[in-house]
């Protein structure tokens, strides 16, 4: 990654992200560059069983995304981007109504 940055890369990416959270943190700390993770579909499936009718639990997806953020990721590429955005919007709406 250091060579990529030396050659002019604007950011670095860790793929797959979930099994390499420690690497995400080390890359972020060592290179001080924007660090992105790619959430491959297989890594999220190992977090929770998937039923044929219900898909993955939202809590499982959101916990994985939060783990990336805690590890230092500046950006997350995921197949669940739309689902996560909708969940965050629902949460923001519920907090606004409760205030």
What local confidence, expressed as pLDDT, does residue 35 receive? 97
The residue among 24 and 45 whose pLDDT is bigger is 24
The average pLDDT across 52-79 equals 85
The average pLDDT across 67-93 equals 91
Residue 50 binned pLDDT confidence (cut-offs 50, 70, 90): low
The average pLDDT across 29-33 equals 95
> Over 60: is that where the pLDDT of 54 sits?
no
Residues 37-52: b if buried by 16+ CB within 10 A, e if exposed: bbbbeebbeebeeeee
Q: Alpha-carbon distance 55 to 45, whole Å?
A: 10
Q: What is the mean pLDDT of the chain?
A: 86
Tokens for 62, please give them: 């959101």
């Amino acid at each position: 990654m250091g060579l990529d940055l030396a050659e002019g890369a604007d950011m670095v990416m860790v793929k797959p992200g979930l099994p390499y959270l420690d690497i995400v943190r080390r890359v972020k700390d060592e290179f001080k560059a924007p660090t992105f993770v790619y959430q491959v579909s297989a890594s999220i499936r190992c977090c929770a069983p998937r039923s044929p009718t219900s898909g993955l639990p939202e809590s499982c997806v959101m916990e994985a995304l939060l783990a990336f953020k805690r590890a230092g990721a500046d950006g997350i590429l995921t197949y669940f981007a739309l689902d996560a955005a909708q969940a965050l919007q629902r949460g923001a709406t519920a907090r606004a109504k409760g205030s």
